[in-house]
Amino acid sequence: DIIQKISDKKPFVWIERMLSRAKAERVSELGIPGVGFVVESKRAWPYNTAGGALLGKVGIDGNGLSGIERQYERILHKPEVKTRFVRDAHGNRIQAISYDSESLELPKGDGLRLTLDADIQQIVDEELEAGRESAKAKSAMAILTDADTGEVIALSQAPTVNLNRDDIAPKALKNIIAETVYEPGSTMKPLVAAAALDEGVVRTGEMIDCQNGKMKVGPHIIKDVHPIPIVTFEDVLIRSSNIGMTKIGQRLGKDRLYSHLRTFGFGKLSELKLPGETGGILRKPEGWALVDVATHSFGQGIAVTPLQMMRAYGAIVNGGNLMPLRLVENENPQEFKRILSEKSANTIRDILFDVVENEHGTGKSAAISGVRVGGKTGTAQKANPEGKGYAAGKYMASFIGFVDATSIGVKNNYVL
């Protein structure tokens, strides 16, 4: 390989790059004419796998190839200094002149201060991988945000990737949190319920007939996994009734339902704008069939990203404000949009506490002694890649929860 390289007619060739200084010095000591070495910078990731796919990889010349490294390439990696050299008859450099008469010291890019907490990020990475292995899942994703500020505290996916390794497959660098779309299933129900409260088409304590688990909508049959009779509006969410949510969605109607889903941020990119990020799928109501009002009300027929769901739930937790998500401190101004009344948001928030605390709640496994935890479970079938319908036996399981951190002396509320 070396003979082939030095036989090239080019005036200069690399034999090897990014080797250790000790190895380079041993080669230099051999005194081979025309062979030398130059010192280059190399990116190192002190936390190894922490936030790997999010942070991204750089190329051998330091240019960002993926993730934040690519997104903020112009800030992190400044252009090289252009120079010209004066050499003697033997080719040795005797003088260097900068075109702009400035120092020839290689320029350094500016740093970025991320909102990520390195310690929490590592914990989330470890627990997520343990959960993925326990569930025998193909992959897993987790995001932790501060609902009051929109700051992303941790963003993780499993399997992880160690950025300090050189043998990373390109697909391992894919940020599946930004690029994955999925039908959210029952995690969509609290958002639709909040919109219905805001519109005044339903009220707390109202009795809703869930028809013992079976309801016909046009030619389609809507079913509940756990059939229930007439229950309160609150129990529709606590027990996660598809039929109860269908009736609530029908009261909203397709136009208002679509409008609120757009207001929550579905069908468009988040502020993070990570490489490869998608806006999901939210069709305009003109193309909806009769059953689409029902399916959208319990989280099918719409494709979302984890980023969109986290941002929407933040509005439930913080009292009705849709906050811009942030990964870089002080990058986005703290401009928020009120999308729910504080009363509606707080009502749904209290119901989600019951989803975890109530004996009939679907999220009892999320309970933590000493703090109040709320949240909602969701299970959705994966779309059939071969055509219409769903793939048999393949599911996306999710849970979006939040901790009332004031109970442990912390001001902010966190959503995971």
- The Cβ-side half-sphere exposure at 19, using a 13 Å CA radius, reads 14
| E strand or H helix at 353 | helix 342-357
Spot the catalytic one: 156, 186, 241, 344: 186
For the question of residue 365 being annotated catalytic, the response is no
CA-to-CA distance for 370 and 210, rounded, in angstroms? Answer: 34
Q: Please state, in angstroms and rounded to a whole number, the distance separating the CA atoms of residues 6 and 117.
A: 48
Tokens 């250790």 belong to which residue?
20
How many whole angstroms separate alpha carbon 145 and alpha carbon 13? 48
Measured in residues, the chain has a length of: 416
User: d(Cα 283, Cα 289) in Å, to the nearest integer?
Assistant: 11
- Angstrom distance (rounded) from CA 34 to CA 113: 43
Please, is 78 exposed, middle or buried when counting C-beta atoms within 10 Å of its C-beta (0-12, 13-18, 19+)?
Answer: middle
Residue written as token pair 């029902």: 294
| Burial environment of residue 204 by CB neighbours within 10 A (0 to 12, 13 to 18, 19 or more) | middle
Tokens coding 62: 């330091």
Q: Residues with catalytic annotation? A: 186
